[in-house]
Structure 1
């Protein structure tokens, strides 16, 4: 596993200097450059390492996971490296390109309705004597948030790696959404433990329950599934998967989050398109991150400022969905479809060039009621 970690190296940085914002640098840590094409490569390494150390995974263990695609692809890679059998339980709405990526790593794919993923993966693992990795629960334990002390091995924390790449320059803000909650929590716990001054901002998707969970704890005994409106943003947000409880059904640590932003799903989809045109070719979370970063640049008066975020996976995985106008027209019809989508594209482009707040303008100009 340490040989594999050395092969990973450090994912590259992509710098963006929005012309409308003086002395604002947005830096994307490009995790799509990993060996399995997403942020989940380092994440899966941490999960497997934790499972090995805790004795959950041994020679011959059949590993199961519930995933929207990226974690499954990376876990199947790690299991192949170790000679282990792997089965991914994925939503039946998964993009076919993600299925093929999992199968290329010798993973087995089982499709189920999105709300049944965790139950099915756990049931299959128990009935076969395998191990359910359960990233939603166990990322809280697996993702490191400490330095490596006197060890010759460097810390595997993403933020530790980032500030080394920035030659010690500390970002003013780190922004990212929550899927399992593991990445933003591990970054936040690292920052809080070492007293760093970077603000942690969670960009929550429109119908996710995470913002209420962080702010109020109001979904600790409710599923929130009735709040979920399809299609959502693939792989991020939280909806129909049971009560949100830290280290049980989610790895999101509310204590390390400084601010919450709610980002409309169709706005995030539009931001994917604008970002791609600017050379930031990322997926759903990258759209959320880009839009959130522009908003933060518009409201934060500190200058100069570096806003750090993640390019979590490649836009090529979403060619048939979130980057496809016909799909957007169909799946996002309840949100206003292409007229609202095109409105958001123009707002985001203007914000990038002129320094306007894209969320303030977009929520007014691109409201569904304006296009009825």
Structure 2
């Protein structure tokens, strides 16, 4: 029998921790080639555990506690490539619970160290596609609870209020020249952030639309294309593992809700990482690869707005800091090992920053007040003349 007094104490500790934390910053970034477009980064790296996943972990723990899934002494298990595990380890330690992270063997050593710093244990597996199965088995063997972020992310977050990321963005944008963004750009990891944003925008009747960006070796883009009737081929899975840590999945996850998204773009890894380096240079500090993926989406939306003669704002997410990737994305040897040509991607990004269209596949849902993205992308194409996606 789960003791209600322990649950009440655990919830109180999480709420007190939240009350001690300040909101994350909203950082403007000028794009001179797009003078009517104001761009902002929601800096989620300033959370106590250094990433956007801090919000998700807090929501997952509160959801599990309210459902009666955790009790004193529960072993908490998660399948995670890193950032969610770091944040969940933080909350597990806050509640005095053991934590095990099941993750791919190629996860950055900095993330492994961060999990262990928070008191967690890392269980590395060679086959990234099997981490869920390993996590379920570990939870069964320990009598613990598998948090299952990829299933519960979209339902654990209160998208109506409770300081979700969408509410925070609109509160911080209130005094800006264009307080209601034309676009909010986010990546697809669990799908939970995109669902929270999309639901909140509809619930509050905002005209803002969501652009979700997907890296290579991820199934979300094809799944979305099939869902809006513009895809072809198998949209149920893809080969390989995403090289942009924190986003991309080999299959569509339960928390990914296509109908919450207005448009989706597929971003080559080389372009994501070129954008990562540009954002780092412009902000004066390193950011992670998923922030670069987001910035490619920002440039695509900015070009579409300018092409349609629109002024307005775009908000995207700075997901985490680059210190977690010092051994990979910031090392030339890593690019050589993965066969990534940085020169072509850097040149393509430089052209986009100068005002040219950035050449990435985009699929859009039908309808909506603002059709700038749709008008600038007349069809769904797998490849274009710039940085190409592998077939």
TM-score using structure 2 length:
0.84
2:62 to 39, 49, 53: 49
Moved more, 27-36 or 281-290: 281-290
2:52 to 24, 39, 43: 39
> Are residues 110 and 258 of structure 1, via their aligned partners in 2, closer, same or farther at CA, if it must alter by over 3 Å?
same
Q: Which residue in the other structure is 2:189 paired with?
A: 179
What secondary structure, in the 3-state scheme, does the structure 2 residue paired with 1:364 have? coil
Q: Which residue in the other structure is 1:356 paired with?
A: 356
Q: CA deviation at 1:223?
A: 5.0
Q: Which residue in the other structure is 1:303 paired with?
A: 310
Q: Which residue in the other structure is 1:77 paired with?
A: 90
Q: CA deviation at 1:90?
A: 1.1
2:78 is aligned with 1:65: yes
Q: Which residue in the other structure is 1:266 paired with?
A: 270
Q: Which residue in the other structure is 1:229 paired with?
A: 240
Query: Which whole-Å CA distance do the structure 2 matches of 1:188 and 1:238 have between them?
Result: 20
Query: Which whole-Å CA distance do the structure 2 matches of 1:326 and 1:133 have between them?
Result: 36
Q: CA deviation at 1:303?
A: 3.0
2:179 is aligned with 1:158: no
Q: CA deviation at 1:230?
A: 4.7
2:327 is aligned with 1:320: yes
Q: CA deviation at 1:159?
A: 0.8
> Are residues 302 and 133 of structure 1, via their aligned partners in 2, closer, same or farther at CA, if it must alter by over 3 Å?
farther
Moved more, 75-84 or 190-199: 190-199
Unaligned runs of 5+ in 1: 148-154
> Are residues 63 and 144 of structure 1, via their aligned partners in 2, closer, same or farther at CA, if it must alter by over 3 Å?
same
Unaligned runs of 5+ in 2: 1-13, 362-382
Q: Which residue in the other structure is 2:370 paired with?
A: none
Query: Which whole-Å CA distance do the structure 2 matches of 1:192 and 1:215 have between them?
Result: 21
8 Å contact kept, 1:32–1:311:
yes
8 Å contact kept, 2:184–2:211:
yes
> Are residues 360 and 122 of structure 1, via their aligned partners in 2, closer, same or farther at CA, if it must alter by over 3 Å?
closer
Moved more, 355-364 or 181-190: 355-364
2:225 is aligned with 1:215: yes
> Are residues 212 and 347 of structure 1, via their aligned partners in 2, closer, same or farther at CA, if it must alter by over 3 Å?
closer
1:138 to 152, 161, 169: 152
What secondary structure, in the 3-state scheme, does the structure 2 residue paired with 1:52 have? helix
Q: Which residue in the other structure is 1:150 paired with?
A: none
Q: Which residue in the other structure is 1:189 paired with?
A: 199
Q: CA deviation at 1:6?
A: 1.4
What secondary structure, in the 3-state scheme, does the structure 1 residue paired with 2:71 have? coil
Moved more, 293-302 or 305-314: 293-302
Query: Which whole-Å CA distance do the structure 2 matches of 1:274 and 1:39 have between them?
Result: 20
RMSD: 2.2
2:258 to 254, 260, 281: 254
TM-score using structure 1 length:
0.88
